[in-house]
Amino acid sequence: MIPVAVIFDFDGVLADTLETHLKAWVLATKEVFQQDIAPPTELSGHSTKTIAHLISKSLGQPSMATALASTKERLVTKVAGPVSLYPGVKVAINQLRARSIPFAIGSNASRAFVTAALADHQIEVATIVTASDVSRHKPAPDIFWACGNQMNISPANRERILVFEDSPHGIEAAVAAKMFPIGVTTALDTTQLRRAGAKLTVSSVAAASEAGWFSSINESH
């Protein structure tokens, strides 16, 4: 199989953002419910809307989910500061761009968060699809389908799109999209990601780049 394009998740694949999101959820819950919660690490990988619903339901006030989600999105940019990219991410992106290989970011995070983080690092990405842009979030395939469409990849060639994901929900979304899911072991191990449907695993985007994975992509796509 010769890949025709690449899609990256953002959180946990390109950027180390877990602690930022967890802190924002704790602060948002305190503001909306006047209650302290433990950082919801078990909800990592879900969309903001889903996490807000689950937290609100656990606190006995599911009707407050929309308010919680809005508060979290307001606070996350305040607590973040410059988001840290994983080492080698810029090199990998530049390698893809230099060879005119289509690539995209497909994230369950909000568009505002992703674009602000990229701007801090002076990275331009032509195709970005986030939870702000679709009605169904991962593990539904919609984000990845939108990425493929915006990169002008034919549905018949979706199975030749590499998708780099660090969470089971992201891997499941890539499987549902009929794409080629690759697990990135920044948060979970190979066994967990393989169980979700990853066909390959790699320690980082940089490792994939250094191994020549992107160099083998068909330039003619």
Point out the domain boundary residue: 27, 62, 80. 80
**Residue 60 main-chain phi, psi, to 5 deg:** 80, 15
Contact 188, 196 (CB under 8 A): no
**Residue 118 main-chain phi, psi, to 5 deg:** -65, -40
- Mean pLDDT of all residues in 195-209: 96
* CATH code assigned at 125: 3.40.50.1000
How far is 116 from 107, CA to CA, in rounded Å? 14
How far is 20 from 202, CA to CA, in rounded Å? 24
How far is 99 from 187, CA to CA, in rounded Å? 30
DSSP-derived 3-state class of residue 180? strand
Point out the domain boundary residue: 80, 102, 117. 80
Are 9 and 114 found together in one domain?
A: yes
Domain count, the chain: 2
The whole-model pTM stands at 0.87
Nearest alpha-carbon partner for 8 in 101, 75, 74, 112: 101
Cβ burial, residue 221 (10 Å; 0-12/13-18/19+): middle
How far is 38 from 118, CA to CA, in rounded Å? 29
What pLDDT, in 10s, does the model give residues 89-131? 999 999 898 888 999 999 999 898 999 899 989 999 999 999 9
- Residue 73 falls inside a structural domain: yes
Locate 46 and state its tokens: 């879900």
- Mean pLDDT of all residues in 173-186: 97
Q: Which of 76-80, 175-179, 184-188 is the most confident on average?
A: 175-179
Point out the domain boundary residue: 80, 115, 133. 80
Are 133 and 171 found together in one domain?
A: yes
- Residue 206 falls inside a structural domain: yes
pLDDT surpassing 50 at residue 221: no
- Residue 164 falls inside a structural domain: yes
- Residue 215 falls inside a structural domain: no
Range of the domain at 182: 5-16+83-210
Contact 110, 74 (CB under 8 A): no
Are 129 and 206 found together in one domain?
A: yes
- Residue 219 falls inside a structural domain: no
How far is 33 from 144, CA to CA, in rounded Å? 34
Query: Looking at residue 217, what is its pLDDT?
Result: 64
Locate 37 and state its tokens: 């919660």
- Residue 197 falls inside a structural domain: yes
pLDDT band of 1, cuts 50, 70, 90: low
Sheet of strand 180-184, all strands in order from the earlier edge strand to the far edge: 127-130, 103-107, 5-8, 161-165, 180-184, 200-202
Are 127 and 201 found together in one domain?
A: yes
